[in-house]
């Protein structure tokens, strides 16, 4: 097992969706001679490129990116697996003396990497299967409402369509009688020894919403609907977690004839805006975070100073 304290300093670059993380991470990596470690729960999936805003080869500009396209859409991937694989990547980069920029908007992944995971009861397959059946019959929003009744704090940061995290929170409550939010709080997500400069991009809400609107249109023009059709032709059903996620679920609904392209685009914009607000609340709750504008010239000196630090 890799000891995070044995690793050299690294940089976390986070922020809400459409805040400019990809562009800034690449620019910083080019200036630092670094490689990027993705901390995005959707970029791990193969075949899902347009709707996840996965960086293209051109956008990467020759910078090596890790933990992108590592699983198929029907494979499970969670914060624990991310932490293990990210630590392996960071260790490999350290052996080559290559700096790391860990970039992404999945706050739980970044928290797990920085501070470890709270101890919680093991999975209950029978109960999970029951919740999956209920989700299929009643809808995940019903389960999310149940979660809100027993653990409103967790429900606030978990999307109503995120069945995996809803299941886990309800499972913890059922097995322990305690709220998942309390379990996490008691763990405290204490520093694991990994030396992190945690940067969160902060841009005005009006600017962010315009970026979200522009990107949603770009996704539709780039072939989001065709991408979903191709994925489903490969045999992946619309009930899979990634196809029920942001952007994809509306493309699936459009293919089913539930609404036209204009209606799909409107729903994508609105849901992504609400998602970005939850992300911003999450990052505001994190300790030891530096909120900055997405400006490489402004943050580069801070990063260079951090990376030059050595254990006392």
Mean pLDDT of 54-71: 98
With b for 16 or more beta-carbon neighbours within 10 A and e for fewer, the 273-297 pattern comes to bebbeebbebbeebeebeebebeee
Q: Distance between CA atoms of 179 and 152, rounded to whole angstroms? A: 9
Question: Which pLDDT value is given to residue 129?
Answer: 83
Using CA atoms of 177, 180, 186, 191 in order, give the dihedral in degrees to the nearest 10. 150
Check: CB of residue 82 under 8 Å from CB of residue 67. yes
Predicted confidence band of residue 157 (pLDDT cuts 50, 70, 90): confident
Question: Which pLDDT value is given to residue 192?
Answer: 66
The pLDDT tens digits of the residues spanning 167-190 come to 888 988 888 888 887 776 665 455
CA atoms within 13 A on the CB side of 73: 23
188: phi > 0 → left, psi -120 to 50 → alpha, else beta; which?
A: left
Q: Distance between CA atoms of 107 and 82, rounded to whole angstroms? A: 12
pTM: 0.83
Check: CB of residue 168 under 8 Å from CB of residue 143. no
Q: Distance between CA atoms of 51 and 201, rounded to whole angstroms? A: 21
Q: Distance between CA atoms of 131 and 233, rounded to whole angstroms? A: 27
Question: Which pLDDT value is given to residue 174?
Answer: 87
Q: Can you point out the beta strands (E) in the chain?
A: 10-14, 35-38, 65-66, 100-103, 196-201, 289-292
Domains and CATH numbers, the chain: 4-116+189-216+279-308 (3.40.50.300), 125-187 (1.10.20.140)
Question: What are the backbone angles phi and psi of residue 202, rounded to the nearest 5°?
Answer: -125, 115
* Rounded alpha-carbon distances, angstroms, from residue 146 to 82, 152, 169, 170, 173: 28, 9, 10, 8, 11
Question: Which pLDDT value is given to residue 283?
Answer: 94
- Smallest CA-to-CA distance from 34 within 106, 100, 82, 78 is with 100
Question: Which pLDDT value is given to residue 284?
Answer: 92
Question: Which pLDDT value is given to residue 90?
Answer: 97
Question: Which pLDDT value is given to residue 12?
Answer: 98
Predicted confidence band of residue 309 (pLDDT cuts 50, 70, 90): low
Mean pLDDT of 215-227: 97
The pLDDT tens digits of the residues spanning 249-291 come to 999 999 999 999 999 999 999 999 999 999 999 999 898 999 9
Question: Which pLDDT value is given to residue 311?
Answer: 40
């Amino acid at each position: 097992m890799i000891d995070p304290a044995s690793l050299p300093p690294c940089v976390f670059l986070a922020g809400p969706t459409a805040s400019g993380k990809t562009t800034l991470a690449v620019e910083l990596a080019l200036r630092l001679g670094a490689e990027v470690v993705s901390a995005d729960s959707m970029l791990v999936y193969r075949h899902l490129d347009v709707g996840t805003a996965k960086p293209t080869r051109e956008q990467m500009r020759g910078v090596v990116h890790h933990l992108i396209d590592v699983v198929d859409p029907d494979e499970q991937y969670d914060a624990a697996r991310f932490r293990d694989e990210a630590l392996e990547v960071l260790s490999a980069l350290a052996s080559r003396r290559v700096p790391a920029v860990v970039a992404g908007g999945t706050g739980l992944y970044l928290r797990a990497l920085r501070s470890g995971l709270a101890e919680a009861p093991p999975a209950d397959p029978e109960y999970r299967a029951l919740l999956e059946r209920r989700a299929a019959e009643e809808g995940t929003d019903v389960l999310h409402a149940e979660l809100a009744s027993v653990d409103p704090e967790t429900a606030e940061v978990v999307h109503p369509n995120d069945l995996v995290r809803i299941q886990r929170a309800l499972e913890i409550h059922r097995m322990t009688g305690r709220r998942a939010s309390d379990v996490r709080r008691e763990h405290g997500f204490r520093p694991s020894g990994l030396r992190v400069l945690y940067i969160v991009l902060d841009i005005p809400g009006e600017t962010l919403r315009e970026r979200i609107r522009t990107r949603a249109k770009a996704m539709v023009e780039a072939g989001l609907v065709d991408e979903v059709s191709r994925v489903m032709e490969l045999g992946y059903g619309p009930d899979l977690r990634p196809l029920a996620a942001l952007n994809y679920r509306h493309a699936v609904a459009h293919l089913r004839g539930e609404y036209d392209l204009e209606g799909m685009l409107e729903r994508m914009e609105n849901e992504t805006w609400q998602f970005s607000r939850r992300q911003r609340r999450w990052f505001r709750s994190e300790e030891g975070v530096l909120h900055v504008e997405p400006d490489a010239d402004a943050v580069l000196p801070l990063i260079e100073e951090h990376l030059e630090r050595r254990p006392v």
